Structure 1
Amino acid sequence: MITQLKNRTLIRLSGKDVQPFLQGQFSNDIDALEEGVAQLNAYCQHQGKIIALIWVMRQEESFYLSFPADLEEVAVKRLNMFKMMSDVTITNVTTEIFQLGICEGDRQGLSPFKLNAQQSIALVSDVSSINFSSGEVWEQACIANEVPEVFLATSEKFVPQMLNLDIDEVGVSFTKGCYPGQEVVARLHYLGKSKRRMRAFECEQDLQVGDKLFALGSSSAKASGVVVRRVKLDSKFLCLATIEVAHEDGEITLNDAQGAPLIRINHD
């Protein structure tokens, strides 16, 4: 099943300094990135909070960065600000190259970049011969595989641990060296467990990215969690959301104590 990912920006970076430049900006180990892989990276600010989650793909001497379109201005401005005098060329190729999400099944002759065991990304210049599935199919797969996302509404609201990027170092390398926010992220990793993690839930009521979760057993003055991504499935809504680990299997409601209940799914 193939979905056209129309709501994502695609940036191409090239130049002799591009690899060390990206290595110093993102949370994962760019030096270890192989062709044929879509590597998940957090682009953090100095306090370790994620500005954007970026899929990084390597093709010969160029790197392609894919992220939600509503973060284009923020992400591109920051990349340009930090490249300074480096030999790095940043080109927006969103209108030239189509981004496709591929789930398990027929790849229709495409050579994709592997995102996880069930999902891949393809970059193509022509889609005239491709049979597409609906966008909901891709979103459902993202939630089933617990693929996090950061949109403008949730930018700078999460540290990598909240989105499980530290687990098996899927989105964070703790040996690669410095990047913005690295000290904070490393300190959280080595000094204690994250109090909030991303989990999958279902709800009978519609919910939106950025909506709050309330754990009724929590004494926290803040909301217990935040909706990360969502999709409708039949009469229900599925979502990934952060939640206080101590209350992840307790009574959880949407937006306030009287809100619709959320039921955790995909238990570890």
Structure 2
Amino acid sequence: MPTSNLAQAVFLEGPDATAFAHTQFTSQVTALPQGQWQFSSWLDAQGRVRNLFHLARLSDEQLLVILRGGNAADFVEALRRFVFRSRVKLRVVEEKKLGVSTALPVHLVDVTGDVIRLGCGSHSLQLGGDVVDDDTSQLAQLRAGWPWLPDTALNELLPPSLSLHRLGAVALDKGCYPGQELVARLHYRGGNKRHLHRIQLSKAVAEGIELRRDDREFVRLLTVISHNDIIEALAVMTDETANNITQGTENISDDGVAIQLLQRWSD
């Protein structure tokens, strides 16, 4: 989780901001109360996750998107093509840092002056003001299964592969949004065989890389955090691979990275 860096965030503003977001994003945007945030995502036509983000409702005509990976300018450029006649303005948040701050209940939004905090339980994500880098908070989000998407994972993974349903990021009982048909088909008919897992690695590796075994995809790494000489990561893998790792029959990559499965999440 990048902290103490410039935020990748966007304001959606105008009378149609909520309605527009509801037709484009995967969550129940119209049900989001003012002063709260929810996980959400934006998919391509094939149902792959373009972007994953926090979506906060600041007022009746203003939403805030804080991306969990990706570039805000690219996000706005791509999303703007779908505005058509909607009365909504997309505005990149300029020159504000994103970091961690004091505890705030999950999903609560606090706005004080030009500082916005999103509650994450033991801590909060803070946009603007003086922010800090906190390894404990980063680890808490990793262990909660809150993924950040490195550039190599954008436009690559389906929502069930990131186990987004359990985060409330994907609604199945709303009107059509990009990729909705595929999401519904996977949910009701099955077929998804990849999910999000928390793992321990035997040595440090870069975020976003693909570990291979027998020269084929083994594990797709997302967030990687080192703490107290332990390396933990969020990773996407097939259910078969996860079972083999648990049984100890297939737990070392071609380049010698041993993997221990710590936790798995369903859709």
Q: 1:85 to 1:66 in 2, by over 3 A?
A: same
Q: How does 1:213-224 map to 2 (within 5 A)?
A: 213-214=211-212, 222-224=216-218
Which position in structure 2 is the counterpart of 1:72? 72
Give a deviation string over 1:187-224, Cα, whole Å, max 9, x none.
000001531110001112112222224467xxxx8413
Residues 222 and 187 (structure 1 numbering): CA distance in 2 closer, same or farther, change over 3 Å? farther
Q: Which residue of 2 aligns with 1:11?
A: 10
State yes or no: 1:261 paired with 2:258. Answer: yes
Normalising by the residue count of structure 1, what TM-score does the alignment of the two structures yield? 0.82
Partner of 1:24: 23
Q: Which amino acid aligns with 1:94?
A: E
Q: Kindly indicate whether the alpha-carbon contact (under 8 Å) linking 2:69 and 2:151 is maintained by their aligned counterparts in 1.
A: no
| Corresponding position: 1:192 with 2:190 | yes
Residues 235 and 57 from structure 1, CA distance in 2 versus in 1: closer, same or farther, beyond 3 angstroms?
Answer: same
Residue in 2 that maps onto 1:63: 63
CA displacement 1:5-39 (0-9 Å, x = unmatched): 52531211111111111001111010111233321
Q: Figure out how many residues of one structure are paired with residues of the other and give that number.
A: 249
Instruction: Show structure 2 runs of 5+ residues with no match.
Output: 112-116
Q: Could you tell which deviates more after superposition, 146-155 or 176-185? A: 146-155
8 Å contact kept, 2:225–2:233:
yes
| Correspondence for 2:208 among 188, 207, 210 | 210
> Residues 263, 103 of structure 1: CA spacing in aligned structure 2 closer, same or farther, 3 A cutoff?
farther
Q: CA deviation at 1:79?
A: 1.5
Q: Secondary structure at the match of 1:59?
A: strand
Q: Is the 8 A contact 1:214 1:253 kept in 2?
A: no
CA-CA distance at 1:241 after TM superposition = 0.1
Alignment partner of 1:113 out of 102, 105, 118: 118
Shift of 1:67: 0.8
Contact 1:41-1:54 within 8 A present in 2 as well: yes
CA contact (8 A) 2:104 2:118 kept: no
Is contact 2:208–2:222 with CA below 8 Å preserved after alignment? yes
1:247 corresponds in structure 2 to 241
Question: What amino acid is aligned across from residue 192 of structure 1 in structure 2?
Answer: G
Q: Does 1:226 align with 2:220?
A: yes
Matched residue of 2:34: which SS? coil
Residue range with higher mean Cα deviation, 85-94 or 184-193: 85-94
Deviation at 1:260, TM superposition (A): 1.1
- TM-score norm. by structure 2 comes to 0.83
Shift of 1:85: 2.4
Query: CA 1:103–1:149 in 2, change beyond 3 Å: closer, same or farther?
Result: farther
Pick closer, same or farther for the CA change 1:206–1:85 going to 2, 3 Å: same
Cα distance, 1:139 vs. partner?
1.9
Name the residue aligned to 2:114: none
Shift in CA distance, 145/201, structure 1 to aligned 2, threshold 3 Å: same
Deviation at 1:99, TM superposition (A): 3.3
Q: Secondary structure at the match of 2:77?
A: helix
CA distance in 1, matches of 2:27, 2:195: 19
Distance 1:186 1:37 in 2: 26
- Considering only aligned residues, what root-mean-square deviation do their CA atoms show, in Å? 2.6
Go from structure 1 to structure 2 and tell me whether the alpha carbon gap of 1:193 and 1:5 turns closer, same or farther (over 3 Å shift): farther
What is the distance in 2 between the residues matched to 1:79 and 1:20?
A: 14
AA in 1 matched with 2:20: F
**Are the counterparts in 2 of residues 199 and 243 from structure 1 also a CA contact under 8 Å?**
yes
* Percentage identity across paired residues of the two chains: 21
The AA in structure 1 aligned to 2:28 is D
For the 8 Å contact 1:207–1:237, the answer to whether it is kept is no
SS of residue matched to 2:82: helix
- Any residues of structure 2 matched to 1:151-170 within 5 Å, and which? 151-167=150-166, 170=168
* Structure 1 residue ranges without an equivalent (≥5): none
22-31 vs 238-247, greater mean Cα deviation:
238-247
